[in-house]
Structure 1
Amino acid sequence: MRKSILIAVGLLIACTFPALAQATAAVTNVPAPKVDTGDTAWVIMSAALILLMTIPGLALFYGGLVRRKNILNVMMQCFIITAIVSIEWIVCGYSLSFSSSKGALAPFIGGLDWSFLNGIGIGDLSPYFISHAQATGKIVNGAPEMTGTIPHIVYIMYQCMFAVITPAVVIGAFAERINFKGFLVFTLLWSIFVYNPIAHWAWSADGWLAKLGLMDFSGGTVVEINSGITAIVTVLLLGRRRDYQGHAIPPHNIPFVAIGAALLWFGWIGFNAGSGLSADFLAGNAFLTTHMATAVAAAVWAVLDWVVGKKPTVVGICTGAVAGLVAITPANGFVDVKGAMVIGLVAAIICFLMVAFVKVKLGYDDSLDVFGIHGIAGIVGTLFTGLFATPAVTKYFATAGNHPGAGLFYGNAHQFLVQLMGVGATIAFSATGTFILFKLVQLTIGIRATDKEEALGLDESYHAETGYTYFD
């Protein structure tokens, strides 16, 4: 009896072990998500390129455009924004932009679960749209399920650079006349209550514009329209510079402008070609379309300068290049090179008219043409994405969810309506939020420089420094 039991147990183990081994092998053979070193290296490099756009790119570009008595103030604003917005991003900004909140708020703003990066480990993979080419195509809880290929903390830092450069773009609008303390408080509040919600709408998995299928590859709504609308609202509320005569005040250092613009063009490779978050076909197309749209816009602006002003100018070609970079920002991951060149052409013409004629006619003092370039080119680019998005490019993008993959000229009229909705919603929210926050700061601590401070220059008034020292 005892021998029979032992034999039975032995037979049971012998029969069961192969099944267990096969099941174990099946489990261990399932490829676990892992870091792709190529994707990770590219996204880290792209984040560094975007940081280069703010400091020193914008610092030199804007610094050269203002008068010599205000160059350090502009540079200080770029540096302090890089510092305080980076801190805000880790404390609450990333969580508000990309985590999920509960109930009716979920499509509009994230929660605070990831404040101070709580619960995010150094070895975690990013859950957000990491490799478009590796999308599973499955829908999980109403959102596309993605296979991450880069560390979560790398994605956080990449997005941090977008959060930094957006308010840095705005400073060109109110340059030479804003109180430094008021500027600092306003910028921090604006980053929390304006930038983060719009980033959530367009780029978070449960954002309402993302679910509608908004095509905004690198920030046409989140960065460009948002900063442009903020610019024009602050300009109108702040008023003109005391000595503004209705036309542009000559820049004090055009070589700085050229160097800054060149750094922006260079850094924008990370801004756009990095937004696919992988080193693949999509990144290559984004690089190509970004460069060609910029080249066309720069050349067209130079020609317009030549025709209207009788001379092609360095400031003009630099401004045209920035207009092209802005316009292709939402589109570079969705359009081919022909669509990109058309976008660059149209953006250059419309922005030139805004800066050279409309601004002068209306008389508003947008110091460095933030609204005329970033706001207008951002609108052009976002709408034209809804026209020129082509399946030849979007087939390399995630097809999960309700992402249509084509624009009006390729048979999908609905996409243009979605883009129009994204533009309208961004304008409305950005304008309203900016107005409220500006008034709050204005009524509490003040936000306009005094006549004396403005006349002396903000470098000496606020920083007790001068950009240039002269010796006998």
Structure 2
Amino acid sequence: MNTSDVVWILVSAALVWLMTPGLALFYGGLANRNFASNTVFLSIIVLGIVPLVWVILGYSLAFSGQGLIIGNLHHFLLNNLAYNHSTLNLHIPDAAFMLFQGMFAIITVAIITGSVVGRMNLKAILLFIPLWLILVYVPLAHMVWGGGILQKMGALDFAGGDVVHISSGVSGLTLAILVGRRQHFSTESSTPDNISHVLIGAALLWFGWFGFNSGSALAINETAILAFINTNIAAAAALTTWFVIDFVKTGKARISAALSGGLVGLVVITPAAGFVTPTSAILMGIIAVPIVYFLVDYLKTKFQYDDTLDAFGFHGIGGIVGGLLTAIFAQKDFHGLVATGSFKQLGIQILAIILTVILAAGITWLIGKLISLIIPLRIPASVEQNGIDHELHGEYISIISSPQFSQHVRAKQNS
């Protein structure tokens, strides 16, 4: 075992964990004040549920056995897990690898919630979380990283383009369609309720993403350094490009827009972080932004679906674009189109993306339908009308969201 590698993986695991509170703040800042607390709560409750499911069953099914689709129960409740050596040919113990991979599961589930905040029944989503983790995330993790069919095919997914972003984005969209649109739904973007939370959340996400991508090298080496550089430079290129496009279109220099661009760049580089050069990372950030920027608005307007905080738009579409660009810009050793002139890797990436979309959408739809037989997927109309924060949580992210504060303001205005 390499002590430096172990330290880096433990630090990276902590960084990835920090991304979920960051996502909670980012989502909460973007959300309407009537469901901002609900938005943050759904991200935070994932921090409790997912680690338990991962330790009990998830890790074993994802990273044990030789199945093409799923693993086995060899590491059920972390039995037979090595704490001082690796059975996976790594420089870190299996326990450190388990811990690091578990953080990915947490943030993936949290992303999904952004599509249905403010209108999904709490009991239904609490039941959905463990079922989705076992039936969608775990098989994908095994297929891509655990020796399954996509890994054997040669699909490139350095840190979670398929496993994390496409799966969560597509699943979020599917769940949003099942739950239905919000009352007074509009495809027009609303002004962020708390730009400070958006800024802090985005900063935590960007910071944590260094562990997300660079840590996926699973060692302190040149690949980790490359992934760190690519993560930052792709996000920087995407942030700048998104700002320019948005400024030209709206005439406003919007902080939330620039940060959204940075997030898209982080998503797009995730599957490619250790496979492309920094120059390619910049190009990926620049190329992806106009595709995501215009496609998100077009699809929401065309099909009138209510992806509340654009989980599908940023993560689903961004992940698909990133997966395709990975095949185009990957270095010669990884059979990229530009480096080799061969379309083979692009074909593999397309097939992996299609399989990921089918699995995520199909199983999410099935889970949602089964839950709806027991529990309504949607909260009552009266709760949604009055605001789920007031009716369910009784806590408010911002003081101006509090009914007591609103009553105080009205009293002052009438006096």
Is 1:62 paired with 2:22? Answer: no
How is 1:222-301 mapped onto 2 (pairs within 5 angstroms)? 222-301=163-242
Structure of higher CA gyration radius: 1
TM-score by length of 2: 0.94
How is 1:383-394 mapped onto 2 (pairs within 5 angstroms)? 383-391=324-332, 394=333
* Equivalent residue number for residue 92 of structure 1: 57
Quote how far apart the aligned CAs of 1:406 are.
Answer: 1.9
Is 1:186 paired with 2:116? Answer: no
Q: SS at the partner of 1:245?
A: coil
* Equivalent residue number for residue 117 of structure 1: 78
Q: SS at the partner of 2:35?
A: helix
Quote how far apart the aligned CAs of 1:361 are.
Answer: 3.1
* Equivalent residue number for residue 413 of structure 2: none
In structure 2, distance between residues paired with 1:81 and 1:389: 34
Q: Which amino acid aligns with 1:66?
A: A
1:329 to 270, 280, 294: 270
Give the count of matched residue pairs.
401
How is 1:344-363 mapped onto 2 (pairs within 5 angstroms)? 344-363=285-304
2:379 to 444, 449, 463: 449
Is 1:406 paired with 2:332? Answer: no
Is 1:41 paired with 2:7? Answer: yes
Equivalent residues of 1:122, 1:153 under 8 A apart: yes
Equivalent residues of 1:225, 1:375 under 8 A apart: yes
* Equivalent residue number for residue 108 of structure 2: 166
In structure 2, distance between residues paired with 1:352 and 1:45: 33
* Equivalent residue number for residue 343 of structure 1: 284
How is 1:375-390 mapped onto 2 (pairs within 5 angstroms)? 375-390=316-331
Q: Which amino acid aligns with 2:104?
A: F
Q: Which amino acid aligns with 2:134?
A: I
Quote how far apart the aligned CAs of 1:365 are.
Answer: 1.1
Quote how far apart the aligned CAs of 1:362 are.
Answer: 2.6
> Which stretches of structure 1, 4 residues or longer, exceed 3 Å deviation after superposition?
469-472
* Equivalent residue number for residue 25 of structure 1: none
Quote how far apart the aligned CAs of 1:455 are.
Answer: 1.6
Instruction: Determine what percentage of the aligned residue pairs are the same residue.
Output: 41
In structure 2, distance between residues paired with 1:64 and 1:335: 33
Cα deviation per residue 1:295-343 (whole Å; 9 max; x = unaligned)?
A: 0110011001111111121110111111100000000110001111111
Q: CA-atom RMSD, angstroms?
A: 1.3
* Equivalent residue number for residue 126 of structure 1: 86
In structure 2, distance between residues paired with 1:342 and 1:240: 36
TM-score by length of 1: 0.83
Cα deviation per residue 1:80-127 (whole Å; 9 max; x = unaligned)?
A: 1111110000110001111105xxxx100001111101111432x233
Greater per-residue helix proportion: 2
* Equivalent residue number for residue 138 of structure 1: none
Equivalent residues of 1:387, 1:407 under 8 A apart: yes
Equivalent residues of 2:82, 2:93 under 8 A apart: no
Q: Which amino acid aligns with 1:302?
A: F
* Equivalent residue number for residue 152 of structure 1: 94
* Equivalent residue number for residue 51 of structure 1: 17
